[in-house]
Structure 1
Amino acid sequence: MCNLSKKYIYIILLVVTGYLCKTPSSNKLKFVFILMRSVNRAPLNYYENISSNIENWPNGLGELTNEGIINAYRAGKLLRERYRHFLNPSERYSPSEIDVSSSEVDRCYQTAGYLLAGMYPPDEQQVWNPELLWQPVPIKTSLSKDYHMFGDNALYCPKYWIELHEASEDFIKTEKIKNFINYLRNNTFKTLKTINDALAICDVIWTDYMSKNSIPDWALKRFDDIEKFMLHSMLILNSNSDQMKRLFSGDLVGDIINRMEAIINKSLNAKKMYLHVGHDSTIVPFFNTLNVSEIEYPQFGATVLIELYLTPLNKTLIKLLYNKNYEWKESNIKLIELPGCPLPCGLENWRTLTQKFIPQNLNEECKNS
């Protein structure tokens, strides 16, 4: 009798769990957050005997390539297709539907702009020039909670800068990293005193490789190590402590949760979608703040998706997805279980889980007092 009861309880649990985790045909999609790395670009630097021909980058160093422009536009069309039953069915842009923000870097602005051109082609009433089927969609840096610049200047967030300096010193002293940087020194004949010095070399090699340009044999031999070094360089941006996570990425997590709650509470100005275009140094620390393990180095156009659903039982359900590059193949889009909040993960549970990483007053918390 005891075994029979346990069996029935197990079946009931399976039914309830399955009901909460049904596909969007039964669960209603309410909000989508999109965090995207800018698309294909030129290397940030040029080095004789390391870089490919400078003529490969006619738009300039650090700028989007034509391939990147096409991929951003295509991503917009594919996002429109993915969320065609969620967004305005007429494909008409409405300011009440979406917020868009960008890191204050040209390639991020441009990625957002080309993506939105694919996502929101003007309808008949919105066409202002029949020879140019495009309409401007606002991109607002004022909405951005992307603090990648904290790693560039101590003045932005002194408390964070101190911890980053300590974490960087510890990282560069590890035997494995010392050996790797020595390998770069011996093959590039560069001094390479800091992580950023080594990262600049790695960026040139990685970007050339991703653009199918030739790279030196010594770099090809250690390409996996180059990519791992780039990933670990992003991880140390907030891996040293919960305080680093709170200062660097916590504001973004808090903003997403606030937007979700505004939708659920039917707030007047709530938007159903929020898109932010940032960097590899935005995505990796964001995942790290959520304690997502086994993070891959984000390729150009890599995208984090967080979807909020309302179930038929009026329960919230959060899904975290990751698209590893600009191609948007369904096979590349991976469902990631939120650590500490297994499916079905509700919004209230997620807020409780992440509360310690969300700053109440970032400016005050950044002060080194």
Structure 2
Amino acid sequence: MRSIVPLAILLSSIEINFCLATDPLAKDYGDLVFTTLLFRHGDRAITGQSYPKDPYKNESYWPMGYGQLTNQGKERHYEFGQWIRNRYTNFLPENYSSKDIYIRSTSVDRAIMSAAVNLAGMYQPYKDQQWNDNLGKLWQPIPIHSIPRNVDTALSFGDNCPRFKKEFNNLQNNPDIQQFNNNHKDVYNYIKENSGMNLTDLIYDSMNLYDTLLVESQFNYTLPNWTHAVFPGKLEEIAEMSFKLPTYTPILKKLSSGVLLNEIVEHMKLKRTGKLNPDIKLWIYSAHDTNVASLLNSLNIYNNKLPPYAAAVFLELRKNKNVNNSFVITVSYRNTSTHEPFLLQIPGCNSVACDLDQFIEVVKPLIVTNWYKECHTMEENNYMTYFGILAILLVAVSILFFIFNKKLFLCYCGRNYEKF
């Protein structure tokens, strides 16, 4: 198992040889104006959703805690933060300012910690931001914003959206999914026989098994012999299918990514008109592989491969070099540290540099502006409307009753008792 390295030593010891180039797209597509960045957290321990016969399910094998960020995950995101700093050298000021960058994370520890260590790589304290002669020269606190999962409509889709759950469950009746499960029934039976799992949800339970085995193999734990027949190959196929399911249909795409896309579009529209306040340059979402896959698949640019740790999607707003007062969006996917992010063309856009208005038109069918209305069926919305009307009537009756009784009370109290 990997040794534990103190963060201060980690921050001071990592050396990276960056190339001299900063923003490689500026020359061809225009100067950067605003960036939305969505990334996955770094390496983590198993989540605790292990299989019954797992020899490493005891938490003693995971001293950092189930689902928590590992030292390898910290290092990976610190290096990624330095990479971002290099790419945006001419875009982001060297000193941190809340007017330049905004960071939002899901309320999951590993996502928050990944954002924190990524920011440590981006913003080493300089000059007056050095707050003492020790750690203060290496690291500075930068705010990370988060809200509870049950009220997070942009990054934590599904659990708090009844319509999503209904549409998602309906996939079990989809002929393609049924055929997929039929093609993998031998794998499912093999898993049941050897892992001790019941597989109440064939695809997702198999995906959780794949995830557990992947993490354990990354920790150099010796996997049971029976796993060699299905891991990684056959289990990886099932895991890849699981990541497409949350955005498998147009309505699922909308319910999965609609709120996030609405935020992205609104920020860019405000940035174009100079009305984004504060005038943020980089808006970061620290999230999970499911978020990365769902955004890519909603935009129809997903490669159907599992997003690795620290996988990132860059949506960059640029001033069009060829047309005055025109803006374009470039979308890049970074899924490895050994290659520049892959520039992707969104279907419906005429170029990899998609005109902002064209981009808005392409994603318009996915945009969600009224989350509550979209997440409830028409019957539920009608019920809530009737309930609301009834509540208003009850309030009105209560007010009238109060006014009427107040009048009687005043009349009663205002009597001249000396006349009786």
Q: TM-score range by the shorter chain?
A: 0.7 to 0.9
Query: Which runs of structure 2 are paired with 1:84-99 in the superposition (5 Å)?
Result: 84-88=89-93, 91-99=94-102
Residue 232 of structure 1, CA deviation:
1.2
Q: Which residue of 1 aligns with 2:34?
A: 31
2:105 matched residue in structure 1:
102
In structure 1, distance between residues paired with 2:239 and 2:306: 7
Per the alignment, residue 332 of structure 2 pairs with 321
Return the offset for 1:53: 7.5
Other structure's SS at 1:128 match? coil
Q: 1:366 aligns with which of 375, 383, 398?
A: 375
For the residues of structure 1 that align with 2:220 and 2:178, how far apart are their CA atoms?
30
Q: Does 1:83 align with 2:91?
A: no
**Match runs of 1:190-269 below 5 Å:** 190-194=197-201, 195-222=203-230, 223-239=232-248, 241-267=249-275, 268-269=277-278
Conservation of the 8 A alpha-carbon contact between 2:207 and 2:239: yes
In structure 2, C-alpha distance between the alignment counterparts of 1:115 and 1:68, rounded to whole Å: 10
Q: Secondary structure of 1:25's match?
A: helix
- Runs of 4+ in structure 1 off by over 6 angstroms are none
Unaligned runs of 5+ in 1: 1-21
Match of 1:141 in 2: 146
Can you list the C-alpha shifts for 1:219-249, whole angstroms capped at 9, x where unaligned? 333312222222211211121x222111111
- Mapping of residues 312-351 of structure 1, within 5 Å: 312=321, 313-314=323-324, 315-325=326-336, 328-329=337-338, 331=339, 333-343=341-351, 344-351=353-360
Work out the CA distance in 2 between the residues paired with 1:342 and 1:52. Answer: 51
Query: 1:246 corresponds to which letter in structure 2?
Result: K
CA RMSD of aligned residues (A): 2.2
Q: Cα 1:332–1:193, aligned 2, differ >3 Å: closer, same or farther?
A: farther
2:52–2:196 CA contact under 8 A, matched in 1: no
Counterpart CA distance in 2 for 1:216 and 1:33 is: 42
What CA distance in whole angstroms lies between the structure 1 residues aligned with 2:111 and 2:129? 25
- Give distance in 1, aligned partners of 2:349 and 2:31: 20
**Cα shift at 1:360:** 2.1
Structure 2 segments unaligned to the other structure (5+ residues): 1-23, 380-420
Q: Which residue of 2 aligns with 1:187?
A: 194
The one-letter amino acid paired with 2:341 is I
Cα shift at 1:129? 2.4
Kindly provide the amino acid, as one letter, of the partner of residue 161 in structure 1. K
CA–CA distance in structure 2, aligned partners of residues 168 and 79 of structure 1: 41
Q: Could you tell me how far apart the structure 1 residues matched to 2:42 and 2:243 are?
A: 18
Question: How far is the alpha carbon of 1:283 from its aligned partner?
Answer: 1.0
Amino acid in structure 2 at the alignment position of 1:234: F
Aligned residue for 1:249, secondary structure, equals: helix
Where 2:26 maps in the other structure, the secondary structure is coil
Q: Tell me the percent identity.
A: 27
| Cα offset, 1:265, TM superposition | 0.9
Quote the Cα distance in structure 2 between the aligned partners of 1:293 and 1:203. 20
Corresponding residue for 1:294?
Answer: 303
Give the secondary-structure state (helix, strand or coil) at the position aligned to 2:280: coil
Give the superposition deviation at 1:123.
1.5
Give the deviation of 1:307 after TM superposition.
1.4
Which is greater in Rg? 2
2:185 to 178, 190, 193: 178
Question: Shift of the alpha carbon at 1:94?
Answer: 0.4
Tell me how far apart the structure 2 counterparts of residues 182 and 270 of structure 1 sit (CA, whole Å). 56
Matched-pair contact (CA < 8 Å) for 1:57–1:65:
no
Q: Using the alignment, how far apart are the partners of 2:256 and 2:296 within structure 1?
A: 12
Q: Are positions 1:303 and 2:301 aligned together?
A: no
Structure 1 pair 317/71, CA: closer, same or farther in 2 (3 Å)? Answer: same
Q: Are residues 81 and 220 of structure 1, via their aligned partners in 2, closer, same or farther at CA, if it must alter by over 3 Å?
A: farther
Distance 1:242 1:51 in 2: 41
> What per-residue deviation string (whole Å, max 9, x for no partner) do you get for residues 47-98 of structure 1?
464354855421011111111111111111111111111111xx10000111
Counterpart amino acid of residue 166 in structure 1: N
> TM-score, normalised to structure 1's length?
0.85
Q: Which segment drifts farther, 339-348 or 46-55?
A: 46-55
Moved more, 352-361 or 311-320: 311-320
Distance 1:101 1:220 in 2: 39
Cα 1:210–1:335 shift into 2, 3 Å: farther
Q: TM-score, normalised by structure 2?
A: 0.75
User: Which of the pair has the greater relative contact order for Cα pairs under 8 Å at 6+ separation?
Assistant: 1
Question: Is 1:59 aligned to 2:64, yes or no?
Answer: yes
Contact 2:52–2:195 (Cα < 8 Å) also in 1: no
For the Cα contact (< 8 Å) 1:307–1:320, is it kept in 2?
yes
Alpha carbons of structure 1 residues 192 and 336: separation in structure 2 relative to 1, 3 Å: same
8 Å CA contact 1:146–1:278 kept in 2: the answer is no
